[in-house]
Each structure stands twice: as C-alpha cells, then as structure tokens.
Structure 1
Amino acid sequence: MTTISIHNNTFRLQPTGTMFWEERAMLLIADVHLGKVAHFRKHGSAVPQEAISKNFEQLDTAIDCCEAKEICFLGDLFHSTLNTEWLHFEQWVQRQETELSLVIGNHDIISPLRFEKLGITLYEERILESFLLTHHPEERENLFNFCGHIHPGVRLKGMGRQILKMPCFFKKPSQMILPAFGEFTGNYMLEPKDGDEIFVVTPDEVILVE
C-alpha cells in the first residue's frame, strides 16, 4: 500500500482500490456496482455466475486489510434496480460488524428504505473537518474532495510500444478520485495536468507514477 498525507491526515491507498483514513478508522470505497453482473446476465451477456461472488470476496479482502470502524461507500453501490444480487448483499451486510454508510450516487436508485432497513446510513454528501465526501467530483472552497463516479484510469507505455491501461487513484490539488471497485466497471482514461498525481493500482501494490 501507499501512504499519503492530506491536510495533516493520513490515508492508505490499497491495492484493492480502497482508501483507509487512519484518523477516522474509515474505509472509503467507490463504485462497487453490485447487481451489474446479474443485470448483464439477465440481458443475455455471457458473464459467469461466479463473478457475482467475486465482488463480495473482494470486499472482504479490502476490509481485512485494515481495522475500520466505518465503511463509507462513495456512491454507485448498487448498479440498477433490484435483482438477485440484492439477496447476496443483504447476507453480506448481516455479517458485518462495522458501521456502513453510503453517499448516494446516480446509480443508487433503489428505495432508501431498503438501505436504511439494513442499517446503512445514507448521505447526499458529507463534510468531515476539511474534507468533502461526494459521489460526483466537486470543487468547494477550503475543502478537499474525495469522490468516485469517473472510474479513473491512465495509459502507461510499456516495452515495444506496448500501452497498458490501468485503474488509478487520480489526485488533484484539492481532490482525490478513487478507482472503481467493482468487477466489469471499466475505466475512463484521464490525462494528468501540472500538479496532478497518479497512483496506479496493481494486484499487489499502489505505485506513484506521476
């Protein structure tokens, strides 16, 4: 993992694509898109059934990497309307001993009552000290923004003209866009500008490349 400091707070960028805020013992996760696999399968896409369980296995792996008191999802936790994956999600939530919260994203169209019934606290946005937690990227004076939505990726040049497209944490002077966590989410390639920092996510580590 890679550790960075923002506004005198410490954040661990993890190979799972999640970020652990040490001072608050909070794990931040963006764009899980649960239900997307079942949605694709329902419409005839050849996605293996095993892919459904992989998202939950990855969530467990991310949680096991830290001692979080709260898991905060930065939007698009569930991809679509209710489908069979919601039952898997309910079972997963029941096993958690950690506080769960959701900053609502554009894909989170399921009734808030269903989330609240599971004990998940919902927010439109959150302001914690000098930090702003949202789904869509926001710019707010004197606040550093943690967000998702974009599914950031970056192109890296390899040997022999090889081009690698990798998910990344995309840090601007007053904003950090987290990579999409879920399977089959894809990446949107971003071009860094002066002052931006790119932390590429690999299966084993997070690497600052720019």
Structure 2
Amino acid sequence: MTITSHGEELILDKERALYLPHHQLLAISDLHLGKSAHFRSAGVQVPSTIAQNDLQRLGVLIEKYNPKTLLINGDMFHHGLNTDINEFAAWRKQYGELNFLLVKGNHDRLANADYASMQIDIHEPSFCLGPFCFIHDAPKCTEEELYPISGHIHPGVTIKGKAKQRLKFPCFYFGNDYAVLPAFSTFTGLYNIYPKTNEQIFAVTPNSVVEV
C-alpha cells in the first residue's frame, strides 16, 4: 500500500516494512535477532528456524526494493552474541554494497566493535531524514520540527467480523504526533493501538496491508 505522509510517498509492505522511494531507504523495526537462541539457552523450546525465516523475509524485501540503505529502527539484536547473530553475520556478507544503519533500541547492547565487525553504522538516539525522525521510542524524540517514526511497542489492531469473530493483526500506526512501525520479527507479541480522531491504522494481514 502506498500512502503520503508529510509530503513524502511511503510504501507500507505486508512483510512489516516501510520503504521511502525518494530516499531509496528500507526501514524495519524490532528485528530481535538472537531472541529465539536466547530462549533456547534458557531451556525454552523455541524453533531454531525463527531467525532464519526472518532473515529470508528481509532478503526478499531487499531484492524487491533494491534500497541503498537498510534502516533498523531499534532492537535489531535481542541479547548478547549467540548462534542467531552468527547466522546474521554470515547473511550480511551477501549485501556488501548495502548500507546498514541501526538506531539503537533498549535491547541493542552489543559492543561497538561487534556492530562494526558486521558493517552496521550506529545512530543514537535517532536518524533523521527529510521530514522524518526515526527513533526507537517516539516520546523521547527531541526533534520537534520533524515527524517521529518509532517502533518498540509492537503495535497491533483487533478487527471484529460480522459473526463476532475477532482477529488481531500487526499494524502501522500514523498518529497525530508520531508513527509506529510493526515489529518485523514474527517472534513478538502485539500491543493493541486505539487511534484518536484523524489518526490512521493500517493492518498487516497475510495477503495485504489494509486501512482500518
């Protein structure tokens, strides 16, 4: 789905990603690589394919949009170094010409040398481009003249059907004061968003992005 926000064309992709054609920038949030391996190390039975599937989805998006820059808007890595992150480091080598930018989130705790070894440029607390300011937690944004685009809360929306069924989907939220991207990782919960007047919610269904 293509929308216009603050004079810029934005593409909302059903793979929970945002593309800015004018800037050739692909943005995702809350990748949480390493989360499944961290849970397994604690004895929780979590499939080892979660990180692989998320990286495969991300690779498809890169091929689809051919961006110059990939921006991860916080919580790229869930915990310390582990097997999931080793898989990412190997996967990253396929995209040597692509700029990887990370706006640090609350889970991004690796040493700067670790990020540098994987060719990831760090921006803290935000990365601003055009009319937008990418920041992991929008209320902390200090660039008042720009429109914050955040992540962090893993936004979701509940849609009620005619037969009283209730379906919950990840969503893009474009509020009066800031926007929130859906969590890219499939291994996350959802926090229900309730829009105010003149605010927009776009549900991410299995087949498309739809305004609700």
Q: TM-score, normalised by structure 2?
A: 0.94
After the TM superposition, which of the residue ranges 99-108 and 38-47 deviates more from structure 2? 38-47
Which residue does 2:18 correspond to in 1?
Answer: 19
Which residue does 2:118 correspond to in 1?
Answer: 118
Partner of 2:203, secondary structure, is: strand
Which residue does 2:160 correspond to in 1?
Answer: 157
- The sequence identity of aligned pairs, in percent, is 37
Partner of 1:62, secondary structure, is: helix
Residues 71 and 99, structure 1, Cα contact 8 Å, conserved in 2: yes
After the TM superposition, which of the residue ranges 3-12 and 13-22 deviates more from structure 2? 3-12
Which residue does 1:136 correspond to in 2?
Answer: 137
Which residue does 1:47 correspond to in 2?
Answer: 46
Instruction: Confirm or deny that 1:181 pairs with 2:180.
Output: no
Structure 1 residue 142: deviation in Å?
2.0
Instruction: Confirm or deny that 1:66 pairs with 2:56.
Output: no
Partner of 1:161, secondary structure, is: coil
Which residue does 1:92 correspond to in 2?
Answer: 91
Distance 1:63 1:74 in 2: 16
Which residue does 2:2 correspond to in 1?
Answer: 3
Which residue does 1:145 correspond to in 2?
Answer: 148
Query: Over aligned residues, Cα RMSD in angstroms?
Result: 1.3
Residues 143 and 174, structure 1, Cα contact 8 Å, conserved in 2: no
Structure 1 residue 45: deviation in Å?
1.7
CA-to-aligned-CA distance 1:96-153 (integer Å, 9 cap, x gap): 1311110000000111211112221100111223211101113542211111001000
Q: TM-score, normalised by structure 1?
A: 0.95
Partner of 2:36, secondary structure, is: helix
Partner of 1:192, secondary structure, is: coil
Structure 1 residue 160: deviation in Å?
2.0
Structure 1 residue 26: deviation in Å?
0.1
Residues 50 and 187, structure 2, Cα contact 8 Å, conserved in 1: no
> How many residue pairs end up in the alignment?
208
Instruction: Confirm or deny that 1:56 pairs with 2:59.
Output: no
Structure 1's unaligned 5+ residue stretches are none
Which residue does 2:29 correspond to in 1?
Answer: 30
Structure 1 residue 203: deviation in Å?
2.1
The residue type equivalent to 1:85 in the other structure is D
Residues 72 and 102, structure 1, Cα contact 8 Å, conserved in 2: yes
Distance 1:35 1:118 in 2: 15
The residue type equivalent to 1:33 in the other structure is H
Structure 1 residue 87: deviation in Å?
0.9
Which residue does 2:172 correspond to in 1?
Answer: 169
CA-to-aligned-CA distance 1:23-46 (integer Å, 9 cap, x gap): 100000000000011111111222
Distance 1:158 1:34 in 2: 34
